[in-house]
Amino acid sequence: MLKKLLIGFAALIILLILATGALVLKASNYDRYDVKADRSLFAEVQTESDVAALAERLVTEMTLEEKLQQMWGERPFGGYLKFIVSFFLKDEFPHIFVGRNERLNIPPWVLSDGPRGAVVGKGNTSFPVAMARGASWDVALERRVADVIGKEVRANGTNYNAAPCINVLMHPAWGRAQETYGEDPWLLGEFAVAYTQSVQQHNVMACPKHFALNNIENSRFYVNVDLDERTLREVYLPHFKKVIQEGKAASVMSAYNQFRGDYVSHSRYLLTDILRDEWGFEGFVTSDWINALRDGVKGVKAGMDIEMPFRNHYGDELEDAIRKGEVTEEEIDEIVLRILKTRLQYAFADDKMTYDKSIKASAEHTALAQEVAEKSMVLLKNEEILPFVQPGGKKVAVLGAIANMPNTGDKGSSNVRAPYVVTPFAGLAAYAQALGGEALLYDGDDLEEAKATARRADQVVVVVGFTHEDEGEYFVMSTDPPENVKEHVQNAVGGDRATLALKPRDVAMIKAAREANPNVVVVIVAGSAVTMADWQSDAPAILYGWYAGMEGGHALARVLYGDVNPSGKLPFTIPQSETQLPLFDSWATEAKYGYYHGYTLFDKENKKAAFPFGFGLSYTTFAYDEIITEKETYAMNDTLTVRATLRNTGKRSGEEVAQLYIGFGNSFIDRPVKLLRGFQKIQLAPGESTTVTFRLPVQDLAWYNPEAKAWEVEAMTYEYFIGGSSSMNSLIEGSFTVEP
């Protein structure tokens, strides 16, 4: 009897193992589906209006179950299993097929994240993070980046790009700072439009995120954000409005957090009243993944279209609500129709090229990744150290714990699995060796060894900063506030930074290197601001290198040795001390966002930054003069035109970012001292000059009047400033008047 029981038990174990193996095998080798429509099945579809008519017909032909299937990603069991197998066994981000209907021949759409490259699959080009690209202040360059990302997204069999991320950098401790472009809404908006328009050329639906007010990472699942209407409209929404109205974004992703007591995915005020009714958005809204939607009925009533990535609240819960009459089928039809009208346009549109996997991380694409890294690096300090003398016959010491670490950014949803990563040391070593020099590496913590290495070298590069363990997307299983915050902080990987300071070991390494060798450059790897008061005087030169992508090491070498003249400018303000900033509570359950942050706060309170917004040095010098406005008085519907002469007064060719700010010193209401309202990146040879012209609709000077619920332009005299950073010391000034 016992023998039979043991045999039966063994057989059961074997069956379970076989069944588990079969499930894992199926999850690992899941079916793939084309995201393009089979046009042979829809001969009547020839134009965009035909696609819209098809969408209307398909809705009438769908059962209620089929309609609901358009409103969620995959079924939980198979979807979760696919994720687990893909992530832990294959180190890949899987395809999640949404809305496929075999009976009606509707192809699916498939999401690929991607602020720094295509995320699904492996072997993709890893660009510098978005914050680095924001530091380039080069919108044309961002269009080229998005063009490559669009191509590689399609090469992976996907057609929906969860990018750009355009949340305002409210505070530099925000963990996902690296995924956005900076602290200023105007800068964000210009980059967002460029990215969106470019990626959508490849029939990839762009999805700007996270709409809205997702500016704290650790408490993102539960924090309730409150702010006044002017702050909402003038600071946290204008870049979203611009990417919808000018960029024509196909989709938008809702945020996890609450807004004025409602989860954003339940907020009709944001998703319908503002997004659709005011801004005219005609696309569809998807939820952030897993925990953004908490209630199916509230989601439908708010205008939340698709629950991602799995069927949960839009499953049985919603079916039950429809049976009870809490949600009508007409409301479901409205949602499904706008989903189909948008996504089928992309499924039927002709492709401009063939998206073969061979284009991924091609020589052309990786060369662009290097160019972007070169143009994004920001030189903050240079006591005649840089550019280094060419390394032929010389030794360069590369110090720091992360100096030889593949370190392209966080490991969350933006993680790109590149075929290789050139570390700072690898790039400097290759550069030195090619010219007959030698690179020395010390990445330990023994300061005496570090000093010895520095003494043996002619040039010293200290690489300091962070990794995905220190900042980035923060994952927790619970969506409730932690009972023990201290325990969470100790166990956290990624998330918000607890301090803006460098790690003590980095500061010690900088001081040790400087003690051993005067020829020291500090390279900062970070996603946002780092305070430097405790070591800045020990660093003759400071360069922001960012998470610089797969070719970052090669780019770093070319910048340090002068093959490339640094041209990046800070997309945020670096404070002298964290005490200059408002309190940032990473675990807040309630948060009040203020009207001022970044350079507007420093201007308003007359605070001196360590390095101001828009600042960056070059190996040459630039001067501005001859500022003029086309006319002294403008009407409300005019376009302001202002000019200044920009001169390269140095001995090297270089690129300068000319910046336009508008001042509101005569306003009768509380307004910033000045706001960015234009920028251009301009290449000039030594001694060359050019006229920089800015044109700006007068309506872009408006403030939001919450009592009138309208944007209004004040009739008054405005200042305008043109120069190389937001610091008043680097700006020249003029004025103009707007008449009623």
Query: How far is residue 671's CA from residue 658's CA, in Å, rounded to a whole number?
Result: 23
pLDDT of residue 154: 98
Q: Please name the residues in contact with 411: beta carbons below 8 A apart, sequence gap of 6 or more.
A: 468, 472, 473, 494
- Positive/negative CA dihedral, 273, 275, 280, 285: negative
Kindly report, residue by residue over 5-19, the tens digit of the pLDDT: 556 666 666 655 655
Neighbours of 538 (CB within 10 A): 17
What is the model's pLDDT at position 483?
Answer: 76
Distance, C-alpha 570 to centroid of its chain: 15
Q: Which of 654, 670, 740, 662 is nearest to 706 (CA)?
A: 670
Domains of the chain, start order: 33-72+102-354 (3.20.20.300), 365-568 (3.40.50.1700), 622-738 (2.60.40.10)
Q: Active-site positions?
A: 288
Segments in 294-407 forming alpha helices (H): 296-302, 316-324, 329-348, 363-376
Provide the pLDDT for residue 644.
98
pLDDT of amino acid 215: 97
> What is d(CA 564, CA 555) in angstroms, rounded to the nearest whole number?
8
Reference 164, options 138, 143, 136; nearest CA is: 143
Residue 736 · residue 717 · CB < 8 Å: yes
Residue where the block lists tokens 């074997």: 14
| Strands (DSSP E) found in 32-103 | 72-74, 97-98
Mean pLDDT per 10-residue run, the chain (740 residues)?
A: 61 60 63 95 94 98 97 89 84 94 98 94 97 98 98 98 98 98 98 98 98 96 97 98 98 98 98 98 97 96 97 95 97 98 98 97 98 98 97 96 98 95 98 97 98 98 97 84 72 89 98 98 98 98 98 98 98 98 95 98 98 98 97 97 98 98 97 98 98 98 98 98 97 97
Cα 121 off chain centre by: 20
For position 77, what pLDDT does the model report? Answer: 84
> Which of 63, 68, 59 is CA-nearest to residue 314?
68
Spatial neighbors of 354 by CB under 8 A, at least 6 apart, are: none
Q: Name 548's Cβ contacts closer than 8 Å, sequence gap at least 6.
A: 128, 132, 373, 376, 377, 408, 525, 555, 556
In angstroms, rounded to a whole number, what is the distance separating the alpha carbons of residues 105 and 102? 5
- Model pLDDT for residues 411-428, shown as the tens digit of each residue: 999 999 999 999 999 999
> In the prediction, which pLDDT does 557 show?
98
Strand runs (DSSP E) across 558-673, as ranges? 590-592, 622-629, 633-634, 639-648, 654-663
Tokens of 415: 């993680």
The Cα 427–Cα 554 span in angstroms is 4
Sheet strands (E) in 500-544: 520-525, 541-544
The pTM of the full predicted model, rounded to 2 decimals, is 0.96
Helices (H), 468-597: 485-491, 504-516, 552-560
Report whether 401 contacts 563 (CB < 8 A).
no
